[in-house]
Amino acid sequence: MNVYEVFLKKAGKEEFRHAGSLEAADDELALVLARETYARRAEGDQMWLVERRHIVVADEDYVAPNADKPHRHNDGVRVAERRRAGSDRA
Amino acid sequence: MGRSWGSVAEFEGFLDAGGIVEPVDAMPDEYRQHVFRFIELHANSELMGGLTERDWIPKAPGLRRKLAVLAKTQDEIGHAHLLYMVAADLGVKTRVEMLEDLFANRGRFHNVFHYQAVTWADQVAIAYLVDAAALISQQAVFKNCSYGPYKRILRRIVAEEGFHMRHGEEMLLVFAEGTAVQREMFQAALDRWWWPTLHMFGPPSKPDDALLRWHIKSERNEDLRDKWVQKYATLLTGYGFVPPDPDLRRDPESGRWVTGEIDWAPLKATFANLGPDSARRVADAARHWNETRWVREALESVARRAA
């Protein structure tokens, strides 16, 4: 048996979202089980099934360091100060 | 991969700050065991509840109700499926091991599924009272549970339990507005199900309850029970039914309902699978498991061919 991860998407601008997982013998049976388990009340109209063993998982230590690169953001503080100073003068 | 903590105290600090644990994290083993047992109990209860519900599909009065009970059965079995997947990912037991333990009478499930539903009114009492109790407990877990996969999967389970409750109250209306015989029928069912429903929340939580300390549950058993009593004592008496508790009264000052003393012996019997209907229910579930063995074997041969 294989473990599959189930993703659902509603029409429109929403992205695919992880709904949960299931165990099935093959892709066709996984689709049947996914529809009956995760979309009984039309929770989505598009569905992706991915075998869990095919998901590439990144290490958190690899992903997380990008949180400490402030040069990739701009907090807008300097511009805001200048604007405030400008409106005080007016 | 996943996070780890230097000590249990550090882990508890993470939980107290609202941290959410994921299956890849190196969680303390005791936490893993507690979460696992809690989810396994929930999964078993959904499955046993679904199987009882199924017994009532042919007996439900009218096509519309048969369809509703059919859908509800599918929901409960579906919930069991979702929960067994989440529990299996904790790596304590596989999905099949949990099922085999349950059918070999080594598993546990909620007390209310250790009693027999005698008439259709019992089934309605279960839908109206027991499902509401389950919903109150699950909502409390869903709001604040520290184990991510369980919290996420509860979102859909809680939504569907909401449908069941509305269905239950609609069916109750038929009895409440019905003939004297119908009203007596529901009263008799209420007499059977009132106390088991109060028991369902469990004995008062201990001060050092690990489930509370680790934010697996967020509210004490007695508080959840009280929430249910306040709402359902009002609704039931409003429909003219009488809960079978001679000491049930409204506190004259606060206006809140106060129940009589709860006898915990029947609940303790269900913990050991020694409730009035435990043996029949487990044997019935085991029989289905054995009768469907050929389906699982056929599926496994498909999986082997696909590999």
Looking at residue A90, its pLDDT comes to 60
Q: Are B81 and B41 in contact (CB under 8 A)?
A: no
Q: What is the mean pLDDT of residues A21-50?
A: 93
Out of B74, B95, B303, closest to residue A40 by CB: B74
Among B1, B82, B85, the residue with its CB nearest the CB of A57 is B1
B91 interfaces chain A, CB cutoff of 8 Å: no
- Say whether residue A1 is in contact with chain B using an 8 A CB cutoff: yes
Residues 6+ apart with CB under 8 A from B203: B221, B264, B267
Instruction: Write out pLDDT tens, residues B104-130.
Output: 999 999 999 999 999 999 999 999 999
Report the pLDDT averaged over residues B144-162: 93
| A69 pLDDT tier (thresholds 50, 70, 90) | confident
pTM for the predicted model, two decimal places? 0.91
Between CA B110 and CA B193 the distance in angstroms is 13
- Look at B302 and A20 and tell me if their CB atoms are within 8 Å: no
Side-chain-side CA neighbours of B148 within 13 Å: the count stands at 12
Q: Which of residues 18-77 of A touch B (CB under 8 A)?
A: 19-26, 29, 33, 36-38, 40-41, 43, 57, 59-60
pLDDT over 70 at B165, yes or no: yes
pLDDT digits (tens, 9 = 90+) for B59-91: 999 999 999 999 999 999 999 999 999 999 999
More confident residue, A14 or B147: B147
Q: Which CATH superfamily is domain B8-306 in?
A: Ferritin, core subunit, four-helix bundle (1.20.1260.10)
pLDDT number for residue B304: 83
pLDDT: which is higher, B82 or B306: B82
| pLDDT at position B303 | 79
Give me the residue label for tokens 């511009």.
A79
Q: Mean pLDDT for chain B?
A: 95
3-class secondary structure per residue, chain A: CEEEEEEEECCCCCCCEEEEEEEECCHHHHHHHHHHHHCCCCCCCEEEEEEHHHCCCCCHHHHHHHHHCHHHCCCCHHHHHHHHHHHHHC
A32: which residues sit within 8 A by CB, 6+ positions away?
Answer: none
**CB within 8 Å: A60 and B2:** yes
Confidence (pLDDT) at A51: 97
Residues B89-99: tens digit of each pLDDT: 999 999 999 99
Number of domains chain A contains: 1
Q: What percent of chain B has pLDDT over 90?
A: 91
For the segment B5-34, the average pLDDT, to the nearest whole number, is 96
- Each as own residue / partner, the long-range contacts of residues B157-160 (CB below 8 Å, 24 or more positions apart, any chain) are B157/B79, B157/B82, B157/B83, B160/A41, B160/B75, B160/B78, B160/B79
Predicted confidence at residue A59, as pLDDT, reads 84
* Cβ-defined contact of A1 to B1 (cutoff 8 Å): no
CA triplet B218, B222, B227: central angle to 5 degrees?
A: 85
Sign of CA dihedral A35, B285, B49, B153: negative
Interface probe for A, chosen from B76, B302, B305 (most Cβ of A below 10 Å), is B302
Q: What is the mean pLDDT of residues B47-55?
A: 94
Residue A71 confidence (pLDDT) above 90: no
- pLDDT, average across residues B174-184: 96
Q: Does B303 touch chain A (CB under 8 A)?
A: yes
Q: How far apart are CA B274 and CA B283, in angstroms?
A: 13
Nearest CA to CA, how far is B77 from chain A (Å)?
A: 9
Tell me which residue in A20, A25, A26 faces B85 most closely, judged by beta carbons: A20
Question: CB contact, 8 Å: B48 with chain A?
Answer: no
- Please name which of B88, B119, B110 lies closest in space to residue B44, comparing C-alpha atoms: B110
Per-residue pLDDT at A56 exceeds 80? yes
**B302 with A29: Cβ contact below 8 A:** yes
Domain that residue A22 falls in? 2-89
Cβ contact A25–B82 (<8 Å): no
For the ranges A52-66, B32-46, B254-268, B285-299, the lowest mean pLDDT is seen at A52-66
Cα–Cα distance, B235 to B101 (Å, whole number): 39
Which residue from B minimizes the CA distance to A35?
B78
Residue B291 structure tokens: 């009768």
- CATH classification at residue A9: 3.10.20.520
Q: Is pLDDT above 80 for B289? A: yes
**Chain-chain contact of A40 with B89 (C-beta, under 8 angstroms):** no
Distance from the A16 Cα atom to the nearest Cα atom in chain B, whole angstroms: 15
Q: Tell me if chain A has a CB within 8 Å of the CB of B182.
A: no
ipTM for the whole predicted complex goes beyond 0.95: no
* Partners of residue A36 in chain B, C-beta under 8 Å: 74, 78
Residue B150 has pLDDT above 90, yes or no: yes
Nearest CA in chain B to A41: B160
Does the pLDDT value for residue B201 go beyond 90?
yes
